[in-house]
Amino acid sequence: MTSSKNSKKKQSENKNWKNSVWYFLVGLMILSIVTTYFNEPVGPSQVNFSDFIQELTQGNIQEVTIRPSESIIIGKTGSGTSFKTYYVNYPELMNELRDQGVSIKVNPADSGWVWGVFLQAFLPFLLIMLLWFFIFRQAQGMNNQAMSFGKSRATPWDKENKEKVTFKDVAGVDEAVEELAEIVDFLKKPARYKEIGAKIPKGVLLMGPPGTGKTLLAKAIAGEADVPFFSLSGSDFVEMFVGVGASRVRDLFGQAKKKQPCLIFVDEIDAVGRHRGAGLGGGHDEREQTLNQLLVEMDGFDPTQTIIIIAATNRPDILDPALLRPGRFDRQVTVDKPDLNGRVNILKIHSKKKKFYKDVDLEIIARGTPGFTGADLANLMNEATLLAARNNQKSVSMKELQEALERVVAGPQRKSRVISDHEKEVIAYHEVGHALVAAFAKKTDPVHKISILPRGRALGYTLQLPVEDKFLMTRDEILSSLEVLMGGRAAEELIFNEITSGASNDIERATQMARSFVCTYGMSKSLGTRKYGGSQEQVFLGKSYGSDNKDYSDGTATLIDNEIKELIDMAYDSSMKILTKNRKKLEEIAKILLEKETIDRDEFLTLLEQKKASVRKKIKKVVKDVVPKANDSEPPIGLSPASSPA
């Protein structure tokens, strides 16, 4: 780090020195030109020889200097005025000078005015030559820059970086750390692997959603490996000029061969490694030429060389198959979203340099953030710290963590939005409808919080507490989720005998879930166990331009539509039955929600304690297992399937 700062400082000083030289030369040239053309010439004035003889006869001359080589006579009067005249063959001149008592000098050393005349005459030409020299050097430097246009822009890792990242700073991706630690160990101790004939992978591809820590893993490798490390982005190869990308690839691997063993990290490799011949540009596309050169360089490694390339992407589906084959990227490591334990460890890492109260329990926050990536959790902790600082607190409490989680999940509170009393009442019944159906449905997560405070794009929201991370959903869980989604619209119709547009987001999500139930999961009894439709995403145009391949008949399409409608209607009828049966509780809880604007888990549990014991037992069990006797400032645990009116 220090060496890089010193080099930058030295470059800045050199640049300032060059600028100073430029300014000095230009100023000197301007001064010389002004002196030459606007000032009087330096030296004695020119007079005729007859005038010189007349002055001599009158006794006005005190001293003369005769220069035979230049054929001039320089005279000086008693008043100190100097003049010069051309020397002619006048025999009596010496006698007259002697008679008048004039001091005579013959051919002395050159006087200063001669040098003045010389500099005045030739200095502009000298300055022009110097300026031309500097301009030529500058043009040569620009030419060198043009020649270096095809050089690699890889950034070497600075070993003196005091803030380097190691594997201790990475959590939630233990399998990926294990794979990469093996590569670092090979670079440090290659003899141990070569003795038994093992070949280390030439390339490792890190795949996973955005924010899961792929670039962080690369930084950890740079911090762990005591070898040269080159880092660059896939877009650094691609330019508008044809052939530049391929030239940079050659230069990159040329540098790597000189400093082996070494590591090369290419972030977002999908910028240059997209599938060839599948879109715009044709076979002579600049990106394809760059990819071809990259393939050649990766496959052309000498077996004795120890150069490992690590690449990261969140779009492995669009990469060229030739890039993924063994011999190039031998090992493909999936960096997925962390599980519960991973989220706890990530929160601990991001809380190291932050101050917290003793009652803060990060495990509660981790349980409330299923599906969060490492970047999401880092943002959550930072938001909590900012909220604590805004409230002039010295430490972060559970209250700030709760507010930060709600901000990340649903957005910041919109206190300035003015909602009429009638609309607020509709929103209250809508959210309580979600909550009651979630409490009485077969398989749903218990309700954790209900609110009618506008937040983000939502006018209100219902939060549910997941018992554990779920990677699979059963048939009953999907059907129960559909019932919860329909609970808000059913409550509106039951109480007001009319419906609003507030359930648009619920309907959209319910339709998508029902379609997946039928077409993707194969859970429909009438349509059987098969997948309907296939994706035709364009590699170059992106996902938004993809279309579904209709691989079924029009009659089957009608059956699918009828099945989706039947599933949603069944869910709506079930939620309507639950709410009709518990209408008094619906009205009671809605009135309390209108007064308090927010109902937490404990209060909602109290309002339901007169109902059947199974509901009470389900909620209390989750509270006992997941949330240890916490105060009222417990965090929200993620949006329920029934999010608010949008």
**CA trace torsion 494, 496, 501, 504 (10° rounding):** -10
Whole-angstrom Cα distance, residue 63 to residue 181? Answer: 97
Amino acid at 552: Y
Q: How many CB atoms sit inside 10 A of residue 43's CB?
A: 15
Whole-angstrom Cα distance, residue 490 to residue 433? Answer: 7
Whole-angstrom Cα distance, residue 223 to residue 484? Answer: 49
Q: Give the 3-state secondary structure percentages of the chain, helix then strand then coil, rounded to 5.
A: 55, 15, 35
Token digits for 449? 């919080």
Whole-angstrom Cα distance, residue 482 to residue 513? Answer: 8
- Of 71, 229, 53, 250, residue with least CA distance to 158: 229
Whole-angstrom Cα distance, residue 187 to residue 142? Answer: 39
CB 366 within 8 A of CB 171: no
Q: Is 609 a catalytic residue?
A: no
- Tell me the three state secondary structure of residue 639: strand
CB 426 within 8 A of CB 644: no
- Of 286, 359, 320, 599, residue with least CA distance to 462: 599
CB 299 within 8 A of CB 266: no
Whole-angstrom Cα distance, residue 437 to residue 640? Answer: 12
Q: Give the largest Cα separation in the chain, rounded.
A: 148
Exposure class string for 291-323: b at 16+ Cβ within 10 A, else e: bbbbbebbeebeeeebbbbbbbbbbbebbbebb
Whole-angstrom Cα distance, residue 445 to residue 621? Answer: 12
Whole-angstrom Cα distance, residue 188 to residue 193? Answer: 11
What are the DSSP calls for 521-587, one per residue? S---TTT-S----EEEEETTTEEEEEEEE--S-HHHHHHHHHHHHHHHHHHHHHHHHHHHHTHHHHH
Whole-angstrom Cα distance, residue 78 to residue 55? Answer: 11
Helix runs in 92-213, H state only: 93-99, 112-147, 174-188, 190-194
- Contacts with 285 (C-beta within 8 Å, 6 or more apart), sequence order: none
- Tell me the three state secondary structure of residue 456: coil
Whole-angstrom Cα distance, residue 323 to residue 299? Answer: 10
**Locus of tokens 């005249």:** 85
**Cα 207 to chain centroid, rounded:** 18
Question: Per DSSP, which regions of 495-638 are E strands?
Answer: 534-538, 542-549, 598-600
Whole-angstrom Cα distance, residue 353 to residue 629? Answer: 27
**Locus of tokens 């380097």:** 164
Whole-angstrom Cα distance, residue 262 to residue 118? Answer: 63
**CA trace torsion 296, 297, 298, 300 (10° rounding):** 80
Whether the upstream peptide bond of residue 209 has omega within 30° of 0, thus cis, is no
Active-site position among 431, 492, 563, 634: 431
Taking only Cα atoms into account, the Rg of the chain, rounded to an integer number of angstroms, comes to 43
Annotated catalytic sites, by residue? 431
